Amino acid sequence: MSKEKRTLLGLLVGNIIYAAIVSCIGAFFAEHRLSFVLGVFWSSIGACIVTLHLYFSLQKSLDMLVEDAIKYQRSQAVIRTLIMIMVGVFGFALQKWMNMYGILLGMFALKVSSYVQPFFIGQEDVSKENQMEL
């Protein structure tokens, strides 16, 4: 499996693990447990969609000239932002079934998984690269 696909897999797994941990902890403290869990998982699904969009847009921009890639990535960043805004708006519209705190915490799934991902996937790659340099 290529390094990029392992990174993508690590981000997606990190999103899911983060959602599970936040759901368990939050459900312990939340008044309406099911709505909290639904909010976390709804926004975590949005984070997974943004992760996939980021992967495919980066793959496409690698084949472009620098100026074109910059313009393309700026437009794709706007699309990713709009996706997360739509997740929040949709969750707010369904506030009867989804807890807004759960939605907000779930939106951090991509951020947290990007920090934790090297611990799941990248450690063996770093050690192999260091051995090759020696």
The span from the first CA to the last CA of the chain, in angstroms, equals 24
pLDDT at 84 (0 to 100)? 92
**Helix, strand, coil in percent for the chain, rounding step 5:** 85, 0, 15
Lookup: tokens for 125: 């790659």
- Name which of 124, 122, 86, 103 is nearest 11 in CA terms: 122
Taking the C-alpha atoms of residue 112 and residue 94, their distance in angstroms, rounded to an integer, is 25
Give the pLDDT of the chain (134 residues) as one tens digit per residue: 688 888 888 889 889 999 999 999 988 888 888 899 999 999 999 999 999 999 999 999 999 999 999 999 999 999 999 999 999 999 889 888 888 888 988 888 888 888 887 776 655 555 555 455 55
- Name which of 17, 24, 19 is nearest 107 in CA terms: 19
